[in-house]
C-alpha cells in the first residue's frame, strides 16, 4: 500500500477552532480538524474545500496552505501525507456529518492543553495556527504500535 494523501482544514473564529471528535478510525474518539482523503481527480485544495463542506457545512472564503506532514511507521497501512490548511473567512452554517463525528468550537488553549488529540497534532497544530510566517513541514516516525518515536521538523 502506498502513502495515503489527506487534507486537514482548521477553521478559525477569533481564538476558537472548529474541531471534530472522530466517530471512526483512524483517531477514533480524538479531536481533529475536519478533513479526509484526496480523491484521484482532486488537488489538495479541491479536497480541502470538498471535505470542509461535507463534514461541516461550511464554505471556505479563504484557504491558506500552512503545512505538509508525513507520518510513517513499519505498518503498511499507516503511511500518511497531510496537506494542512487554515480558513479564517467562511460562509454557511455548521451542520455536522454525524457519521464522521461531532463538531465543536473550541478555545485554542483548551485544544492545545486539554483535549485528547493525535500525537502529531499536538506538535504541528500550535505552529500552524499561531504563526503567521511560512510553511510548517515535518516527518513523524511511529513504531508498530503507533506510538510516536520521533519528529523531524524541517
Summarised one tens digit per residue, pLDDT across range 93-113 is 999 888 889 999 999 999 988
Query: Cα separation of 19 and 30, whole Å?
Result: 10
Q: How many domains does the chain have?
A: 1
Per-residue confidence (pLDDT) for residue 98, from 0 to 100: 85
Per-residue confidence (pLDDT) for residue 100, from 0 to 100: 86
User: Scanning the structure block, which residue is given the C-alpha cell 480538524?
Assistant: 33
Domain of residue 27, CATH code: 3.90.79.10
Give the range of the structural domain holding residue 92, as residue numbers without chain letter: 4-153
HEC string for 69-92: EEEECCCCCCCEEEEEEEECCEEC
Within 10 angstroms of residue 129's Cβ, the number of other Cβ atoms is 19
Per-residue confidence (pLDDT) for residue 2, from 0 to 100: 82
Per-residue confidence (pLDDT) for residue 99, from 0 to 100: 86
Going residue by residue through the chain (154 aa), what tens digit of pLDDT does each one get? 689 999 999 999 999 999 999 998 889 999 999 999 999 999 999 999 999 999 999 999 999 999 999 999 999 989 999 999 999 999 999 998 888 899 999 999 999 889 999 999 999 999 999 877 689 999 999 999 999 999 999 9
Per-residue confidence (pLDDT) for residue 1, from 0 to 100: 64
pTM over 0.85: yes
| Angle CA 27–87–121, to nearest 5 | 30
Amino acid at each position: 500500500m502506498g502513502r495515503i494523501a489527506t487534507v486537514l482544514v482548521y477553521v478559525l473564529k477569533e481564538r476558537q477552532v472548529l474541531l471534530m471528535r472522530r466517530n471512526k478510525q483512524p483517531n477514533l474518539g480524538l479531536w481533529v480538524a475536519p478533513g479526509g482523503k484526496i480523491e484521484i481527480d482532486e488537488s489538495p485544495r479541491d479536497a480541502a474545500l470538498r471535505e470542509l463542506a461535507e463534514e461541516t457545512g461550511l464554505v471556505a472564503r479563504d484557504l491558506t496552505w500552512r503545512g505538509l506532514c508525513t507520518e510513517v511507521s513499519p505498518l503498511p497501512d499507516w503511511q500518511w501525507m497531510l496537506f494542512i490548511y487554515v480558513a479564517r473567512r467562511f460562509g454557511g452554517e455548521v451542520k455536522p456529518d454525524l457519521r464522521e463525528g461531532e463538531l465543536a468550537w473550541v478555545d485554542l488553549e483548551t485544544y492545545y492543553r486539554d483535549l485528547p488529540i493525535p500525537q502529531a497534532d499536538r506538535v504541528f497544530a500550535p505552529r500552524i495556527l499561531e504563526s503567521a510566517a511560512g510553511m510548517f513541514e515535518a516527518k513523524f516516525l511511529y513504531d508498530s504500535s503507533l506510538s510516536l518515536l520521533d519528529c523531524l521538523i524541517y
